[in-house]
Structure 1
Amino acid sequence: MGATPGTDTVDEGFTRFSEEHAQGQLVPRIVEVALACADTVLVADGVDRLTGSTLLQRAALVRAAVLAHHAGHDPRETPVAVLRGHDVGAVAAVVGVIAAGHPVVVLDPTTPAARLRHYVEAAGATLVVSDAERAATAREVAATVLDPDGPGAAHRPDHVEAAAALLGSPADPDDVAVIVYTSGSTGAPKGVACEHRSILHDTWVSSEATGAYPVGSVVAHLLPMAFSAGVTPTLGALLVGARQELFDPRRRSVAELPGFLREVGADVLLASPAILRGVIASLGPQGRVPGLKTVTMAGETVHGAELAAVRRAVGPDCVVRNRYGSTETWLMTEYAISGDDEAPEGATPVGWAVPGAKLQVELADGTLADAGTGRVVLTSRWLGARYWRDPAKTAEVFTDNPDGSRTFRTSDVGSLGADGCLRLLGRSDHSVKVRGLLVEPGEVDALLFAQPDVREALVVGRPSARTGRMSLVAYVVPEGPRPQASAVRAVVRENLPAHMVPEHVVFLDALPRTERGKLDRSRLPEPPRSTAPFEAPRTGWEEVVFEQFCAVLELEDLSIHDDFFELGGDSLAAEALVSRIEALGDQAVGQVGTAVLASAPTVASFAAAVRSKVRSDRPTLVPLRPEGEDRPLFLVAGAGSAALALRTLAQRIAPGIPVLGLQAHGLENRALPDWSVERIARRHVATVREQQPQGPYRVAGHSLGGLVALEMAHQLRRAGQEVEILVVLDSFPPDPALMPVPRYPSRVAKLKEGVSLALTGIKAHSGLGHYIRFFRQGMFLQRRYTTEAYPGPALVVVAGDDVDAGARRQWAPHLSGEARVVEVAGEHMSILREPRVGPVADLVSQALRAEAPAVVDVREGRFAER
């Protein structure tokens, strides 16, 4: 796509998007672009893609299904929810619902069902458009579930007929098109109703007026559509005539993102600062992401050092845009840096008001000023949002002006310079932004207060003095015996989105109060981080390692004697740390691997260990908990996973039993990998018999590691050795028909994947991509492994909440001895971490002690025998 010089018409036959379009409606413009781009891909998600034609057809099916169900209802007062993944089907569903004349409420599939039900009930919706993967959750959320793509779906109309149908329910520019829900300080969700004209104007501002993604752009879209920052570019790219390539960082590693950007030819990246930090960490100091013309980020403070790292990665030809907005106002300001522009020190400004907006600050005396420090206030004639079905709350912050404009009083405090440049300083209320998402801590308070073992609770945000990043701290006064911190976090995790889970839990005898009995927040203690004595780095090398620890753990400070895992580090953080150390290119550094961190988890010990140049004779063996007098448990890690991922489980297994981890050959030592499950098992058996020459043996494994453990048990038995117990943790049975088959968007992508697979362990891959390559290699081997039924004692644990739980339950034909299949709450990886790991460790401990397991309700976060 490209513009014809000197005209407002682009080559494909539709007019260039302009401010005048804001006087219209969303659907006619989307139809105009789609018809002109009938054979051009407008949306892709790595598996599926929509051309203009197929977008029209699929959206028309959604519209027809919604109208059939809601016949006789006033569509303007009857919202419809959409619950799908970050995929092309979600885009078609959003367009279809809006074309039916109904406001759309996009639901985030990672949010607990109980929370989603709050949104749906608050909106007054009774219908949710979903798909087969999320149908069960959708049924918990709404009375009626529609799957326009499922069995019995209507025949797709011709795309010209579909276009005509989509235009059959014309809307007024002031009608509500989208309702976006934010947190409420009282625990009630707050819906922001956004009209057609405001969305259209925001699209012009965000794309053409600022030049961020004009017609013909290829936009890498990573932001969840349930939030305002995600739904606006979803609609915006369609309105402008840009192609959007969807990438879900919650289901794919950010280490894959640079390769994805190159593969799809993206020239625009829309991402949060948190995601960009992950990308920079995976690339290493010398990594680059070529081809981008624009990177936009918003939602949290970006400091100068972070901005500099992003600019190094994208190069001088890319414009980096730090933006500020809200659900009520859409985009308000932008601070753009390009070429050799000098980067600011400290917190990056959010910049100047975008076209059509006027910024002011409300001073302490309540007057409005064009410069100074105070509450940020925005005025615009394009400001049309209101709180859905809540005129009182709308009147608190919105003002209608005589000239037809509207004013919105934000909850942000900022400093507005004489030149109009805005710097944000914080919030006027107790709200905080965590990972770029607004959190009302009072909502977490309300949830904790409702727990029978909690007398009082107060949740606050604590900023890092050095990075400015926020985390939540829960101060809890127990009612009776003190609960575990993990149990407090688990309650929040089960009911609220992940970004609302407190990072720290501090137990108090009472909350501090003033003389008048009011809460005294100034006297809340800082959350303790470690019991180790504090000591700063003593050498230059310790200083380097210290910086890497802080970066990976996102801490402003720590002692060189603090334990990496006690500070919250997990296997992914460990892999990121190892990648960062290797990327330093220090010739004095010996072999680095997560196994080194397992035995040397502090800055002081790790710094010494990686400089020792001592190479392990058994690089596949990782002592996860070497102490104990009993027979050891040999625990095999999954595909592409360091054995360190199993450390939390190992620490929770019954005392006295050593736990030794096993990982792939070549994963953390320079060597070629094994190319069959049988060869991996043969290598591990040799390592096991070096540690324990004679049986009985105890072997276990997670994911692919479960199949390797199965093969190890077969090989040990064939060698005349006794296998006391085989434990399989959420693995597919050895039946290729049950295992997912990879899907590729094109033959070229499949060929590239094959080449990448063949280079596993041969060609170096920067950052976390090394582990991803081993993961794909492991999946390749898994789909080619079969074996006879296992005749010995076995325990199979299945993560009951995982999407593949149905296939992973089908072990019965493959176990001919005394065996149990037990289901626990959680997903594939979460059962290895708090708070889900406890029941799994109990099951494994009982199997090792030959005890019968308890039978309790899986929905309470424990386990049930099936």
Structure 2
Amino acid sequence: MGVTTGTDAVDEGFTRFSEEHAQGQLVPRIVDVALACADEVLVADGVDRLTGADLLRRAALVRSAVLAHHAGLDPRATPVAVLRGHDVGAVAAMVGVIAAGHPVVVLDPTTPAPRLRHYVEAAGASLVVSDTARTATAAEVAARVLDPDSADASAWPDHVDAAAALLGSPADPDDVAVIVYTSGSTGAPKGVACEHRSILHDTWVSSEGTGAYPAGSVVAHLLPMAFSAGVTPTLGALLVGARQELFDPRRRSIAELPGFLADVGADVLLASPAILRGVITSLGTRGRLPGLKSVTMAGETVHGAELAAIRRAVGPDCVVRNRYGSTETWLMTEYPISGDDESPDGATPVGWAVPGARLQVELEDGSLSDEGTGRVVLTSRWLGGRYWNAPEKTAEVFRDNPDGSRTFRTSDVGSLGSDGCLRLLGRSDHSVKVRGLLVEPGEVDALLFAQPDVREALVVGRPSARTGRMSLVAYVVPEGPRPQASAVRAVVRENLPSHMVPEHVVFLDALPRTERGKLDRSRLPDPAPSSAPFEVPRTGWEEVVFEQFCAVLELEDLSIHDDFFELGGDSLAAEALVSRLEALGDQSLAQIGTATLAAAPTVASFAAAVRSKVRSDRPTLVPLRPEGGERPLFLVAGAGSAALAMRTLAHQIVPGIPVLGLQANGLENRALPDWSVGRIARRHVATVRGEQPEGPYRIAGHSLGGLIALEMAHQLRRAGQEVETLIVLDSFPPDPALMPVVHHPSTLAKLKEGVSLALTGIKAHSGLGHYIRFFRQGNFLQRRYTTEVYPGRTLVLVAGDDVDAAARRQWGPHLSGDARIVEVAGEHMSILRDPRVASVAALVSAELRSEDAPAVLDLREHHGELADR
């Protein structure tokens, strides 16, 4: 962008962002930067890229549509919601709504619709800006839905005219620009109203004031825009003149992140500690993240060993920043570590107050002190937040001071040293943080209390003795017969975000109470241990496996008979376990894979299976759920994915049907890969016929696996075999024109990609780089696969919330038999995981039983993309 390093230097039309900009408004500054960078990319999401000119045009369209919908209303009192994915359209929509003078409420697309509707109603919004993939959900949460992407691109205004239009509704610096919702202990959400000037000042603090992402930076933005931690970089990068590259860790594998950072040339990474843990695991002990100058993390405690691993991965030239803030205050403190700085022991401090802020602690006598231990209190003249339409709640924690500053009493307890450095100790109330997200257990209590089979409920956070990280425990007193624990979790999962689902459910005859009738939390029993018999490792080899299980699952202790998956392990954790064991260097471990863990999921059985050195003559076959006397379902994994990723789906399919997974040759055995969809299918057909010599066959596949399953069905039919049903799980049709175009930032990057593809299955891998290489090779193959129309019975399931849903619906021209295309809730990978996988399993089960499918959206009826058969 050519921005110079001088604080007030002018280059290409805008000055470097300074603290003085906080006296102004958001939109004029964004417009200035966008005009100066009209031909430069400001926002990219891996699919779309917006230059400054593009951003101005798209934001102006949103502004115009919002004003048309809300003509005659006071914009300052009429919020507008935005429900989109982690994409460039969401960024443009936020700018457009703010430019219209309306406060914007960004909704998280992974939150259940009833909860989103609760936010919209509490804000008083009636309009939601969405996109085609989320229109159905948007219609559930608001009276009116606006889809700016449906507009004809030729109708987009000239970017100079668009800039003028965006400036047409000037705001006061004290006007509310954004409303961010958090939960109250009673279950009712609290909306924090954030003013223009407080956002502007927080942007300066977060970026230029601390040096985290100044002008010209390339910021890898992973944080959900619906939360305060995600709002700052979304608007902040536009304000300072940095390019933001959006990466959604809830839709894409964390194992892809290192390659993504390198491909986009990111020098700044904004992520939660949980995401960083996943990245470090995927890299392995020797993996590195070169090129980064700054890494910021916040949201939960980071312990010394974790911090050391992060610093090793990013190198001494990268500043690692541990931060602390809240929705009400934005960023409050920062603890930067770089170069030869010594890593602290134990929990990493959250650091010193940022410029313009003063930290104190409230002592037991109610007085404020500049050092000591107590409730953390922040004072700043830039503190402008308040609770939307809730002056009483605002008065409880905010105080206006005579000098024009404001004070906010947090709910955190901390220790403030004489040097001003703050260490957090916990919450002053019963709120807890789970996976870095604040949870008010009372919100879960209120939901459970409302269930007819629950008399009383109490949810608390219990820390791990080893890590101090929180999990939720629900204590439930049934009304009549005891429900299943899984049913209790299902109720929460259907109504609240996944991090609020209790890990343990404990049933009691009554909640313990004091003699005065108050709840006695000290007498709540610990959750029952695993039903498996407890036994410690019996041999040195079991001790080695035991240590790796504990490390991957982040558990201090477990029995050698505990099931890996019942303890919370998933396919990514399984891949990490295999990588850790392979890294030990023992030659006997060279051929292990996640298939071994699927068949032997305990320390005892896995250790025995590995040491037996029994080599399978079908290395691509993974028994996901081998039990059952009916014809099996053969389930083909997607590109670069171990078949184990579909274990959750397999275990929710109707009992009695064995489910056998198929994965790429060479993925987890020493062998060269197959270099066409046809060759992969031929190998899998041979494996299938080795298990089931004659048809009829049941075949399914996810992603690339759907195309391989299609080709297998063709080959089996040509061999005279009957294929009972083909099930395609969120796959592109066999039409390369429908698949996303691969963008390479440079010729060198394209060359490197080609070399990487050529080395698939050949070069030794570190961490999960092996899986990534097969993933890219699989994408290469699917872009080159076409075939004839398939005449057999077919069920196509499409993840309706995914960015590529429209393309993946286009199966009509490729199917001529009894075929259905059905849309399910979720995104490409989430449909294989709880809670979305339940509806997928129900549809697959109905198809295998030839039953009527559950009531879901059939796209033949609603989109007309398939003619009536």
The TM-score with structure 1 as length reference comes to 0.92
Q: Is the 8 A contact 1:465 1:556 kept in 2?
A: yes
Q: Which runs of 5+ in 1 are unaligned?
A: 860-865
Deviations 1:684-723 (A, max 9, x none): 2322333344555554444443443444344445445555
Q: Does 1:485 align with 2:489?
A: no
Q: Does 1:173 align with 2:177?
A: no
Q: Deviation at 1:855?
A: 5.7
Q: After alignment, is 235-244 or 308-317 more displaced?
A: 235-244
Q: After alignment, is 69-78 or 346-355 more displaced?
A: 69-78
Alignment of structure 1 residues 317-336 onto 2, 5 Å: 317-336=317-336
Q: After alignment, is 632-641 or 416-425 more displaced?
A: 632-641
- What is the match of residue 727 of structure 2? 728
- Evaluate the alpha carbon distance shift between residue 532 and residue 675 of structure 1 in structure 2; reply closer, same or farther with a 3 A threshold: same
Q: Is the 8 A contact 1:709 1:726 kept in 2?
A: no
Q: Deviation at 1:165?
A: 2.7
The root-mean-square deviation of aligned C-alpha atoms, in Å, is 3.0
- What is the match of residue 61 of structure 2? 61
- What is the match of residue 293 of structure 2? 293
- What is the match of residue 570 of structure 1? 570
- What is the match of residue 740 of structure 2? 741
Partner SS state of residue 775, structure 1: helix
- What is the match of residue 554 of structure 2? 554
Deviations 1:801-856 (A, max 9, x none): 454677767767766777777776666555544555566656666766xx552565
Q: Does 1:245 align with 2:245?
A: yes
Q: Deviation at 1:222?
A: 1.1
- What is the match of residue 85 of structure 2? 85
Q: Is the 8 A contact 2:800 2:823 kept in 1?
A: no
2:763 and 2:237 map into 1 onto residues whose CA distance is: 37
Q: Is the 8 A contact 2:133 2:800 kept in 1?
A: no
Alignment of structure 1 residues 324-473 onto 2, 5 Å: 324-473=324-473
- Evaluate the alpha carbon distance shift between residue 417 and residue 771 of structure 1 in structure 2; reply closer, same or farther with a 3 A threshold: same
Q: Is the 8 A contact 1:622 1:643 kept in 2?
A: yes
Deviations 1:419-465 (A, max 9, x none): 21111111111111112211111111212222223222222212112
1:64 and 1:689 map into 2 onto residues whose CA distance is: 61
- What is the match of residue 795 of structure 2? 796
- What is the match of residue 863 of structure 1? none
- What is the match of residue 105 of structure 2? 105
Q: Is the 8 A contact 1:843 1:853 kept in 2?
A: no
Q: After alignment, is 503-512 or 178-187 more displaced?
A: 503-512
- Evaluate the alpha carbon distance shift between residue 405 and residue 839 of structure 1 in structure 2; reply closer, same or farther with a 3 A threshold: closer
Q: Deviation at 1:784?
A: 4.4
1:444 and 1:289 map into 2 onto residues whose CA distance is: 39
Q: Is the 8 A contact 1:797 1:824 kept in 2?
A: no
1:812 and 1:25 map into 2 onto residues whose CA distance is: 50
1:234 and 1:747 map into 2 onto residues whose CA distance is: 26
Q: Is the 8 A contact 2:843 2:853 kept in 1?
A: no
Alignment of structure 1 residues 824-843 onto 2, 5 Å: 829-830=829-830, 832-834=832-834
- What is the match of residue 161 of structure 1? 161
2:809 and 2:61 map into 1 onto residues whose CA distance is: 35
Deviations 1:129-167 (A, max 9, x none): 222232332222222323334234673333333333322
- Evaluate the alpha carbon distance shift between residue 61 and residue 589 of structure 1 in structure 2; reply closer, same or farther with a 3 A threshold: same
Q: Is the 8 A contact 2:704 2:782 kept in 1?
A: yes
Which residue identity is paired with 1:546? F
- What is the match of residue 146 of structure 2? 146
- Evaluate the alpha carbon distance shift between residue 512 and residue 501 of structure 1 in structure 2; reply closer, same or farther with a 3 A threshold: same
1:407 and 1:126 map into 2 onto residues whose CA distance is: 33
Deviations 1:296-338 (A, max 9, x none): 1001010001000000000011111100001111111111111
Which residue identity is paired with 1:619? P
Q: Does 1:618 align with 2:618?
A: yes
Q: Is the 8 A contact 1:589 1:612 kept in 2?
A: no
1:64 and 1:815 map into 2 onto residues whose CA distance is: 42
Which residue identity is paired with 2:375? R
2:3 and 2:703 map into 1 onto residues whose CA distance is: 51
Q: Deviation at 1:672?
A: 1.7
Q: Is the 8 A contact 2:756 2:773 kept in 1?
A: yes
Which residue identity is paired with 1:796? L
Q: After alignment, is 485-494 or 398-407 more displaced?
A: 485-494
Alignment of structure 1 residues 12-161 onto 2, 5 Å: 12-152=12-152, 155-161=155-161
1:747 and 1:24 map into 2 onto residues whose CA distance is: 38
Q: Deviation at 1:196?
A: 1.4
- What is the match of residue 642 of structure 2? 642
The TM-score with structure 2 as length reference comes to 0.91
Which residue identity is paired with 2:197? R
Which residue identity is paired with 1:440? E
Q: Does 1:582 align with 2:582?
A: yes
Q: Is the 8 A contact 2:134 2:800 kept in 1?
A: no
- What is the match of residue 666 of structure 1? 666
- Evaluate the alpha carbon distance shift between residue 706 and residue 23 of structure 1 in structure 2; reply closer, same or farther with a 3 A threshold: closer
1:435 and 1:809 map into 2 onto residues whose CA distance is: 34
Q: Is the 8 A contact 1:798 1:805 kept in 2?
A: no
2:505 and 2:800 map into 1 onto residues whose CA distance is: 26
Q: Does 1:691 align with 2:691?
A: yes
- Evaluate the alpha carbon distance shift between residue 750 and residue 504 of structure 1 in structure 2; reply closer, same or farther with a 3 A threshold: farther
1:162 and 1:717 map into 2 onto residues whose CA distance is: 57
Alignment of structure 1 residues 770-781 onto 2, 5 Å: 770-781=770-781
1:567 and 1:517 map into 2 onto residues whose CA distance is: 36
2:599 and 2:476 map into 1 onto residues whose CA distance is: 34
Which residue identity is paired with 1:52? G
Q: Is the 8 A contact 1:219 1:270 kept in 2?
A: yes
1:756 and 1:35 map into 2 onto residues whose CA distance is: 38
Q: After alignment, is 779-788 or 24-33 more displaced?
A: 779-788
Q: Is the 8 A contact 2:798 2:821 kept in 1?
A: no
Q: Deviation at 1:526?
A: 2.3
Partner SS state of residue 155, structure 2: coil
- What is the match of residue 206 of structure 2? 206
Q: Deviation at 1:223?
A: 0.9
1:808 and 1:90 map into 2 onto residues whose CA distance is: 22
Which residue identity is paired with 1:294? S
Q: Deviation at 1:212?
A: 1.3
- Evaluate the alpha carbon distance shift between residue 633 and residue 442 of structure 1 in structure 2; reply closer, same or farther with a 3 A threshold: same
Aligned-residue sequence identity (percent) comes to 85
Q: Is the 8 A contact 1:590 1:612 kept in 2?
A: no
Q: Deviation at 1:629?
A: 5.2
Q: Does 1:591 align with 2:591?
A: yes
Which residue identity is paired with 1:126? S
Q: Is the 8 A contact 1:591 1:614 kept in 2?
A: no
Q: Is the 8 A contact 2:215 2:240 kept in 1?
A: yes
Q: Deviation at 1:409?
A: 0.4
- What is the match of residue 862 of structure 2? none
- What is the match of residue 679 of structure 1? 679
Deviations 1:350-388 (A, max 9, x none): 111111111111112222122111111111111111001
Q: Is the 8 A contact 1:825 1:858 kept in 2?
A: no
1:497 and 1:846 map into 2 onto residues whose CA distance is: 28
Which residue identity is paired with 2:708? V
Name the count of aligned residue pairs: 857
Which residue identity is paired with 1:372? G
Q: Deviation at 1:397?
A: 0.3
Partner SS state of residue 148, structure 2: coil
1:789 and 1:157 map into 2 onto residues whose CA distance is: 42
Partner SS state of residue 274, structure 2: helix
Partner SS state of residue 771, structure 1: helix
- What is the match of residue 864 of structure 2? none
Q: After alignment, is 401-410 or 77-86 more displaced?
A: 77-86
- Evaluate the alpha carbon distance shift between residue 633 and residue 225 of structure 1 in structure 2; reply closer, same or farther with a 3 A threshold: closer
Partner SS state of residue 248, structure 1: coil
- What is the match of residue 313 of structure 2? 313
Q: Is the 8 A contact 1:492 1:501 kept in 2?
A: yes
Q: Deviation at 1:418?
A: 1.7
Q: Is the 8 A contact 2:14 2:33 kept in 1?
A: yes
Q: After alignment, is 121-130 or 301-310 more displaced?
A: 121-130
Q: Is the 8 A contact 1:352 1:422 kept in 2?
A: yes
- Evaluate the alpha carbon distance shift between residue 47 and residue 648 of structure 1 in structure 2; reply closer, same or farther with a 3 A threshold: closer
Which residue identity is paired with 1:599? A
Q: Is the 8 A contact 1:459 1:474 kept in 2?
A: yes
Which residue identity is paired with 1:688? V
Q: Deviation at 1:669?
A: 0.9
